[in-house]
Structure 1
């Protein structure tokens, strides 16, 4: 009897030992992958994954060879260190602060490779603070379009303890206020942690931001939700930082109130004479009264087009229609000299701006004796 008890006990202990050994082996196998080395650093390699049915950001920052950081909506970086952004795709579109194109900045470049596109900005400064985005371009033959589902954006702050405001080449900027849309005093900062206040120059006073009628966004500036004549005048912003004891003052902003609402051009047309005879000279003037910073393009349709030489002169100027109320007058004048029979008929002026277009017409006829 004792023999069988000892035999059963030995078998039981052997099974327990095998189970513990197998469990330990499984744990080791789970932690070991052939050919896989332990990664260095805190940033893993990035792979495209879906979260909640949507693709994660395709915009990444190159940290070192083979290592990337997927960017969020806002990114804070130090000035001076080269920025390298990468987007995966065989055809990629980019958006970035527009002045990098305007001044043909040699620090800036974009290179498209077979599988990705890379944006490089050397020695970034606080002036480079702004929105950077990329998107996949889908093409069907010669027709291409932006893939809105594969678009990523990050507002990048380039911080500098000596530059609290994003520098601007304009030292005295005009801000136009309209009754139908919010106005923005664009004193942006190089760190979202900076405390900013809005001040009127004369009479000296601080304009309180209540978060509703007046609010501050570090990527835009102070936003006036309901602009009015009350806010006309010279303003500036003041920034306070935990690293600086003296507040920093921004550029000055001249706020002007406009009576003209946003929309297609309001155009009028007038001929110096609607009855002319052969050999005469006449002119037709097309006039648009509109927003000061909105450009207007004129297009003419007239008798004898492409057959008769005419002179067209365009001009524009700002006029003051009251205290703080500025509008822009844009004019196009067509001059017809040494009138011939082909010049009689309808003259059409079409004025275009980003909001739309307006056409006006007048008739020039033969003066009968």
Structure 2
């Protein structure tokens, strides 16, 4: 007996049925298995936007509209205009500080709709340094630097006649501290130049072992653990690849610092804490601090606003102990022709970038 399968078919006559095409459900694959290979399509992953972490937004404009995405460093010939671009609608820039110090008109920066443009005309060896840009984020009038977007490139302008980056300072003081590395900043205009560090007295070349003393062409010679033995006069020597005579850098005086970083260390002293009418006395406020640390003074005294006084501020470098250099800053207030109103407390307030310190002394009547 012949079995008839009636599922999905219509009986035409005994023993024969015709298959009925089933309507496919929505989303069902219409390709029959085994007949055609199906190509799987994966969704496209959106690339990181310019300015996101890990991708440089800084480029150099080349000839014929070509662009070069910049890395850690770049070497260029001096004299030919340099154009850099940074992608973004609000961009901040940094470049060798002296271009701002001297208000150099060779440098121009212009913000366009989608990028910012920096152009430096007639660059020279002195323009060697780091150039960087970043996205500026603003919320109303408050704007901040987007640190994750910062792109930086150190650019060498290779001048065969200027092996060291020129400096307006012919004798520079370098302060040595026991708690952090010190740098002798004899930077070069070509990273391939051979450079050595020399002490004047006793005359010797300093060994560079890459550990205690190392060299970075973008920074100079780095002394990892400064000590009093490193103080003295130094210079750097560069050997040219085209000339037999080596070139000598700026001179550097290395001074060892005794006073640690922190708010001002202050003392106050009156020439006399007892005065009579008609006398003259002075009050001196003294700060011992780091050699390059600026200190500001302000006073509060009994006759303030009613009695004329004379105030003189000054500072100088002094040697304390063996090989230690300290900056002494002073403010001296002179009170002439003492009157009753001048008796009382004299308060000196000192400030530096680490904080402030107040000290006081009292001047009384002799009677």
TM-score bracket, normalised by the shorter chain, equals: 0.7 to 0.9
Alpha-carbon contact 2:50-2:56 (below 8 Å) kept? no
C-alpha deviation, 1:286, in angstroms: 0.8
Show structure 1 runs of 5+ residues with no match.
1-47
- Tell me what 1:263 maps to: 262
Deviations 1:300-334 (A, max 9, x none): 23345445443221111222335543322111112
- Tell me what 2:161 maps to: 162
- Tell me what 2:190 maps to: 191
TM-score (norm 1): 0.78
1-side partners of 2:112 and 2:334: how far apart?
54
1-side partners of 2:341 and 2:136: how far apart?
50
- Tell me what 1:30 maps to: none
* Structure whose alpha-carbon radius of gyration is higher: 2
Q: Residue 218 of structure 2: SS of its match in structure 1?
A: coil
- Tell me what 1:32 maps to: none
1-side partners of 2:341 and 2:258: how far apart?
42
Equivalent residues, number: 321
Please show how residues 207-222 of structure 1 align to structure 2 within 5 Å: 207-222=206-221
TM-score (norm 2): 0.79
| CA 1:274–1:89: 2 relative to 1, 3 Å | farther
Alpha-carbon contact 2:50-2:57 (below 8 Å) kept? no
- Tell me what 2:124 maps to: 125
2-side partners of 1:247 and 1:158: how far apart?
19
Question: More helix by proportion, 1 or 2?
Answer: 1
- Tell me what 1:351 maps to: 350
| CA 1:80–1:323: 2 relative to 1, 3 Å | farther
C-alpha deviation, 1:209, in angstroms: 0.8
| CA 1:111–1:282: 2 relative to 1, 3 Å | farther
Q: Residue 56 of structure 2: SS of its match in structure 1?
A: coil
- Tell me what 1:285 maps to: 284
| CA 1:274–1:116: 2 relative to 1, 3 Å | farther
C-alpha deviation, 1:211, in angstroms: 0.6
Which piece of structure 1 moves more, 205-214 or 337-346? 337-346
Give the CA RMSD over aligned residues. 2.5
- Tell me what 1:360 maps to: 359
Alpha-carbon contact 1:346-1:362 (below 8 Å) kept? yes
Q: Residue 99 of structure 2: SS of its match in structure 1?
A: helix
Show structure 2 runs of 5+ residues with no match.
1-46
